[in-house]
Structure 1
Amino acid sequence: MEADILRILISREALQARVSELGAQISADYAGRDLFLVAVLKGSVVFLADLMRAISILHRIDFMATSSYGASTQSTGVVQILKDLEESIEGQNVLIVEDIIDSGHTLAYLRRLLLARNPASLCICSLLDKKERRESDVPVDYIGFSIPNEFVVGYGLDFNEMYRNLPFIGVLKPEKYRV
């Protein structure tokens, strides 16, 4: 698996340090308030697991699953909800937890959808941000790392459902995803 990686972009140590910083900042920002984390499956699950342990205040979690890529490396721009929330977010302080923001289409759609459900507040936390690729303007409140426009895997991010278990963020060799 690691032989398929062109180079490590973000090390395990850098990930852990930044997630701890994000957890501390989120804890301070939401001190004295309820917090409801909404993780976007499947890519954010590793980030969520570490982030929720780094958040020192009480919080609840729920999950949504979307699809806009299929088996491609490019978003289709059409977002499908594959799994919706099990709990109401009305009146809740919601923090969307995302693995990566690329075009921004999925997150813009999710943001509109969740705002229509009347949360007390809605913020976004993304581990990775690919600003070069942004097509939809989405306000992001917490960003782990800004990265270049390269195809990355690991720490929950995948290609064709593989590589999620790598403990770092790596650039996948182009011959592994180009046909």
Structure 2
Amino acid sequence: MQPEDVAGDLTKVLHTEAEIQARIAELCRRIEADDAAALDEQPLLLVGVLKGAVMVMADLARELRIPVEMDWMAVSSYGSSTRSSGVVRILKDLDTELAGRRVLIVEDIIDSGLTLSWLVENLRSRGPRSVEVCALLRKPEAQRIAVDVTYCGFDIPDEFVIGYGLDYAERYRNLRAVGVLARHVYEHEETDAVELDEQEDGGVPAGEG
């Protein structure tokens, strides 16, 4: 789906498909260089955070020119409200043992950083060689806790964004760009009437992750 297909639902496009693909390629060249310097016989383990990171994970893995393994986690920091509950639940855990592994968490977006910070510490407690973060998008103005991000695609304004895996009420994930959702799409809906899908760290309108 292209931006013109949902033009009435967007206020602006922040990053086009071409810009995203070019930036992912740049990040992959950095990851490859760091992988060569690591001198590790085991492949780098990519850990995607469901559901928002599916697009980023797929494109990142296909662009990389090194052997990688992939696994997935799903976590939730809030249930049916737009505020984080402060309690993180693992909805789907990894199938891979992390002891001695180099782990790269792949995220679609970093908002407050609360859940991602918890996730980093949780994975570090499992005895990996290292845990680093790759995120396509980051909202510096929304960040409430510092998270060390090794590979970041774009810093964006603190606005409600959709596309390239990011959703509103499960819509717009397949948009081939990242854009700002028009307020009229969601301002008339009751927050508790919408099934919220987990973003990296909660505290945002329905979905966006």
Q: Same fold (TM over 0.5)?
A: yes
2:49 aligns with one of 17, 40, 43: 40
Unpaired runs of at least 5, structure 1: none
- TM-score, normalised via structure 1 length: 0.95
Equivalent residues in 2 for 1:75-90, closer than 5 Å:
75-90=84-99
Q: 1:11 to 1:69 in 2, by over 3 A?
A: farther
Equivalent residues in 2 for 1:145-164, closer than 5 Å:
145-164=154-173
2:67 aligns with one of 58, 62, 78: 58
2:32 paired with 1:27: yes
Of the structure 1 ranges 114-123 and 60-69, higher mean CA displacement relative to structure 2 is found in 60-69
Please tell me the residue identity of whatever aligns with 2:30: Q
Equivalent residues in 2 for 1:162-177, closer than 5 Å:
162-177=171-186
Please tell me the residue identity of whatever aligns with 2:126: R
**RMSD across aligned positions (CA):** 1.4
SS of corresponding position for 1:114: helix
Number of the residue aligned with 2:122: 113
Deviation at 1:71, TM superposition (A): 5.2
Deviation at 1:136, TM superposition (A): 1.3
Deviation at 1:69, TM superposition (A): 4.6
Q: Percent identity?
A: 50
Deviation at 1:75, TM superposition (A): 3.9
Please tell me the residue identity of whatever aligns with 1:167: R
Q: Distance in 2 between matches of 1:162 and 1:112?
A: 31
SS of corresponding position for 2:154: strand
Q: 1:7 to 1:94 in 2, by over 3 A?
A: same
- TM-score, normalised via structure 2 length: 0.82
Q: 1:149 to 1:20 in 2, by over 3 A?
A: same
Deviation at 1:73, TM superposition (A): 4.9
Q: Distance in 2 between matches of 1:12 and 1:144?
A: 13
Equivalent residues in 2 for 1:115-130, closer than 5 Å:
115-130=124-139
2:106 paired with 1:101: no
Preserved CA contact (<8 Å) 1:71 1:160:
no
Of the structure 1 ranges 73-82 and 1-10, higher mean CA displacement relative to structure 2 is found in 73-82
Q: Distance in 1 between matches of 2:10 and 2:105?
A: 29
